[in-house]
Amino acid sequence: MSLYQVRKDGRLQEVRWDSEASPTAGEILLAAGFPPGGPARPVAARQDGALLDLSRRVDGGAPLAAVTQADPEALDMLRHSLAHVMAEAVVRLFPGVKVAIGPSIEDGFYYDFDLPTAFTPEDLGKIEQEMGRIVKERQAFSRSTLPVAEALAKFQEKGEVYKAELISDLAASGETEVSLYQCGDFVDLCRGPHVPDTGLGAAFKLMSVAGAYWRGDEKRPMLQRVYGTAFFSEKDLKARLQFLEEARRRDHRRLGKDLDLFSVHEEIGGGLVVWHPKGALLRSILENFERAEHLRRGYQVVMGPQILRSELWRKSGHLDYYSENMYFTEIDGQGYAIKPMNCLAHMFIYRSRLRSFRDLPLRLFELGTVQRHEKSGVLHGLTRVRQFTQDDSHIFCTPAQVTDEIKGVLRLISDLMAVFDFKFDMELSTRPAKSIGTDEDWEMATGALRAALESLGAPYEINEGDGAFYGPKIDVKLKDALGRSWQCGTVQCDFTLPERFDLTYADSDNQKRRPVMLHRTVFGSLERFIGILIEHYAGDFPLWLAPVQAVLLTVTSRADELARKYYSSLREAGLRVEIDLRNEKLGYKIREARLSKIPYMLVFGDKEVENGTASVRRRGEELGGRSLEEFQSLLSQESACPAWEWRP
């Protein structure tokens, strides 16, 4: 007889096992009273922090805990299991296909396949049907282990070159044994764990196909990546599909085209954005708003060059830690790099004259355009580009001023996010493995960031090892109208670059001291932020931000003169209006304006000419007749940029 401990309902209980054979984790949990079916049924076990298949045999040790559908790990396991189901279905349907990798991801799962012909939408439908049959078969996921050499021979014999390569890498790293999982006739190299059987995966949907280089290397074969999603219930799957449909409706790439804001052309180059008049105007409004807010808070606007000598980037550490993201050129035999960030020029502004403690803090602000080498596979509309503009600032301050300056940055971020109704979370990211600077500097910098957060009472999570190579940072992750998280603003505390570039100030005793350097953004990349705004508002921008605030529509040419009068006066008042005098039906004009998401429509017909007014509609709501003075006053008040009393 053996005794096993099980954690259930927050308490430990003992389970007696009389058989000589070691029990499985599932048998112990059932003996402890967990149900064999339903949402409370265990789908895996947890022991000493590790997840186990229910079929794994246990020999005592730490207490077992059940993993049920309510646990976040369970959904990840289900999706990983569905990736295997998809691979089994593809192998059944497409003889000769080679399988690569198939993990779960945040929103579902994928599997990469090497097949001579491209998957079609009809193929996805066939794969889904075959997966449905596998689910109904309730195939068990069974785990086994093999010595590395045997596993390598097994997959080489099957012609599975990608699995063989993975096993060879495991052998090179010192692994002597690998684990395999089988469902039906499909055997896969996998660490696991998996749900007990395929029957739990009935609520799934295949979403799309995309190209993906093997192991992310552009020099390796291009594979076909099939994406899917899965849930434990049809209700959750339906909710997810509805969410995705809403996300597609808000997709900034589609809206950018429909609203004539921007475009990206392969002839020009991937990740390089062309701003159309309305998009450039939207961007200018945002830039002017942010520039004014920074001036109010004591920042000084500066501008640095696009290229700097490579030696400076070597001195800063970027060549050692960031060169794969940079572009290089040569001028007069000298190496230069196109800037991926704006900090170097700002340090030279600081160094341009002697500084005293009375000059600090010095807050420099630049809407600086930078270039970063991104792989073509990750480029995505405005949210992942190769050229973008950062609202970059660098604050130089004394050590005693650091905490207050960080608090000021966080207040600024909070104020500006409130303008757009963004909620946000914050993460404190600590020292990465590859970094520069002393342990003492990193401890002081991390402590300053933590002190600022705690002084403000701001909740935050710790993100271990994800700081910048020169200092720890606070990342601000805003949440849009759909609850999606986007990393935008950041504040980084840097004791190291001031040392490398010999930045000093004279203290009250006229002694040389090192300033602390804060790197920070609020919106981050303007391109990315505008993409987020487009999706957040679904293109229906608030009036102060809308590129076109009102459109004037005529019913008959007899109203053209009155419409032109309104148009001229509103334009002279600085309001952004358009006029449509085409000989088209009013319904057609209204539909065009509605699809363009223009907030106000002013309609002019014979009745309006007689009364000297315009019939006003605001986002579909009828407001009735308005004189020119009434509408101009209304529009001017509503379109004013947001403002609030600044808190120092």
Closest CA to 27 of 47, 48, 4: 4
What 3-state class would DSSP assign to 155?
helix
**Long-range contacts formed by 509-515: CB under 8 A, 24+ apart:** 513/357, 513/398, 515/350, 515/355, 515/360, 515/396, 515/397, 515/398
DSSP secondary structure code for residue 191 in this structure: -
What 3-state class would DSSP assign to 165?
helix
Measure the CA–CA gap between 336 and 304, rounded to whole angstroms: 15
Query: What is the set of active-site residues?
Result: 343, 372, 390, 392, 394, 473, 519
Structure tokens at 532: 């987020």
- Alpha carbon separation from 391 to 288, 340, 354, 494 (Å, rounded): 11, 13, 26, 18
Measure the CA–CA gap between 568 and 108, rounded to whole angstroms: 54
Closest CA to 169 of 152, 183, 155: 152
Q: Which residue has the tokens 């010095």?
A: 362
Helix (H) or strand (E) holding 412: helix 402-419
Measure the CA–CA gap between 250 and 260, rounded to whole angstroms: 15
Handedness of CA 567, 571, 575, 579 (dihedral sign): positive
Spatial contact of 78 and 41, defined as CB atoms under 8 Å apart: no
Measure the CA–CA gap between 344 and 326, rounded to whole angstroms: 14
Structure tokens at 374: 């991104």
Measure the CA–CA gap between 66 and 46, rounded to whole angstroms: 6
Three-class secondary structure assignment of 272-322: CEEECHHHHHHHHHHHHHHHHHHHHCCCEECCCCCEEEHHHHHHHCHHHHC
Measure the CA–CA gap between 256 and 602, rounded to whole angstroms: 25
Helices (DSSP H) in 232-276: which residue ranges? 234-250, 252-258
Residue 62: what are its φ and ψ, rounded to 5°? Answer: -65, 160
Please report the DSSP string for 331-349 in residue order.
Answer: ETTEEEEE-SSSHHHHHHH
The contacts of residue 632 (CB under 8 Å, 6+ apart) are 569, 570, 573, 575
Measure the CA–CA gap between 636 and 628, rounded to whole angstroms: 12
Measure the CA–CA gap between 593 and 601, rounded to whole angstroms: 8
Could you count the other beta carbons within 10 Å of the beta carbon of residue 219?
6
Spatial contact of 433 and 465, defined as CB atoms under 8 Å apart: yes
